[in-house]
Amino acid sequence: MSKQKRGTEGKFIKVWKKAGSVAAVVVDRLEVTIISLSTALLAVLLIANVVARSFFRSIYFAEEAAQFLIIMVTFVGTSYAARKARHIRMGAILEAMPPKLEKIFVILMSSISALVMFILAYHAYQYMDIVRFRGQTTPSLRAPYWTFLIIAPIGFFMAGFQYVRTLIKNIVEKDVWLSPEQQSEYEDEAVMIAQETQKQEE
């Protein structure tokens, strides 16, 4: 392989990593903003509805708005959890494995999880499309019901995409990555212990 070709490939990899880093920051901020705002709005709405019910009468659209916000938090949170390795898993079993075997299991789990997420995204989209075709609306707001469901296929697809990123990360990188942004918990713990020891020595 010529030096020029190697240089071109090196530049491409650098650009690809830079683009990936920028995209990760944008997605992270977007997801965190959506989850935070939705959770805050849900809390305010439910508290306001309790107060209104006690003194006047219930807010007529509170139940539907709360349902929409819960759906939003659930499916955006699915993608966020996949990106930050916050899903339930057998961490103790993985940590007890040799690094090579752990990597094989993580690659296998990432592949299966990505496939399942994409299948769920497909079925969620089909269900949303059926609801849209039927023209169903919400009882109180009279809003198209499919707009409440559109986040489901998007959330599943983004979660599947994060698992694909995890798969690629483990193939490309030498270390074990539980998600695109989270290394093996054992490695993180070792780093934390080393940092704590260094602080104590200083």
Domain count, the chain: 1
Q: Dmax over Cα atoms in the chain, in whole Å?
A: 79
Mean pLDDT of 107-124: 94
**For 68-112, how does the pLDDT look when each residue is reduced to its tens digit (9 = 90+)?**
899 999 999 998 988 888 777 666 677 777 778 888 888 998 999
What digits encode the pLDDT tens for the residues 4-38?
A: 555 555 666 666 667 667 777 788 888 889 999 99
- pTM (predicted TM-score): 0.76
Which residues touch 77 (CB under 8 Å, ≥6 apart)?
35, 155
Residue 178 parent element (H or E): strand 177-179
Write out pLDDT tens, residues 149-185. 999 999 999 999 989 988 888 888 888 888 887 776 5
Give the residue numbers spanning the domain of 27: 3-201
Contact 191/185 with Cβ under 8 angstroms? no
